[in-house]
Amino acid sequence: MESNRKTKFGMLELALVVFFMSSSASEILPKAQNVAWSSVNFKSMLTWSPKPTNYSYTVEFSELGQDRERTPHCIRTMEPECDLTAELKNLKAYYSADILSEPMRGVSSDLIEFPHVRSEKFSPYYDTAIGRPEFKIEVSSDKRKMTLHVTDVPTALFNEDNKRLNIRDVFGDNLQYKVTYRKAKSTGKKEKISKSSIIELTDLDQGVSYCFYVQAFLPFRVLDKQHGEISSYQCSPEDNTSIFEEYGMGVIAGAIFIIILAITTIIIVIVMCCRRRKRAKNTGKEGLALKGV
């Protein structure tokens, strides 16, 4: 009987010690806050706050349902972020991560479990944001067709030969582009979806300037993650620009004034020359008349 009491008392003491240590750890080592994934063009970062002072953070991550892993540069780190780009090898998988608050490097601890916070799930393939593409405009010789040559956005990923991959290498045929365009002097817009990075537009008025922007389009994703960043706005040249649009009314008015001034000056000079000749001729006739007398 006495032995059972001692055993129970010992277990109670142990439970109190563990509880006390856990409570102390929570007070001394604050939990991470604002844990979030940030990923653009497959550069995938895990971020949180605050920046530690007298403690550190360790990141543990895994595919959902798999064993947890650590990466060396995110063990007892003093930075509130962890670059996991190279660690998330299965791009289509979903991952979660825990951020543990731990003592700084070189500082020992008797704690069994450290305060930690779990992230939301994240998949590079389905969640990374796609940056703005670049493109060039080619106008056909007959001015009836325009072709947009889109450059696939490079990613932060590399293949086994250390060659940088672009988004076409990763998404393949799942990558599409959405082109939004309009006449340069109109507000009405049209859209075209293309599975190719070379986009031909034939429903255009001949010789008219059109303006375009392009963005990656991933229809297999949830609605708010289907579109990439919008490209810069570009317009094609216009062939039938009138002289008034080309130079402006001010320049044209100035040119007309100069022309009128020049014509007026010429007329005045011609009139003056004619009068002088007439006067000289009359003067000559008067001299001849006097000699005759």
The tens digit of pLDDT for each residue in 246-280 reads 455 676 777 788 899 889 888 888 888 887 777 77
- Domains of the chain from N-terminus onward: 2-127 (2.60.40.10), 134-245 (2.60.40.10)
Q: Which residues contact 53 (CB under 8 A, 6 or more apart)?
A: none
Q: Alpha-carbon distance 47 to 285, whole Å?
A: 108
Q: Find out whether 170 and 163 touch, Cβ atoms under 8 Å.
A: no
Sheet holding 198-201, edge to edge: 134-139, 146-151, 198-201
At 248 the three-state DSSP class reads coil
Task: Name the band, by pLDDT with cuts 50, 70 and 90, for residue 20.
Answer: very low
pLDDT band at 17 (very low <50, low <70, confident <90, very high): very low
Q: 233-258 as b/e, with b when 16 or more CB fall inside 10 Å? A: ebebebeeeeeeeeeeeeeeeeeeee
Arithmetic mean of pLDDT, 126-152: 94
Q: Which residues contact 268 (CB under 8 A, 6 or more apart)?
A: none
Partner residues linked to 36 by β-bridges: 47
Q: How confident is the model at residue 25 (pLDDT cuts 50, 70, 90)?
A: very low
What is the arithmetic mean of pLDDT over 151-160?
97
Tokens of 145: 């067709």
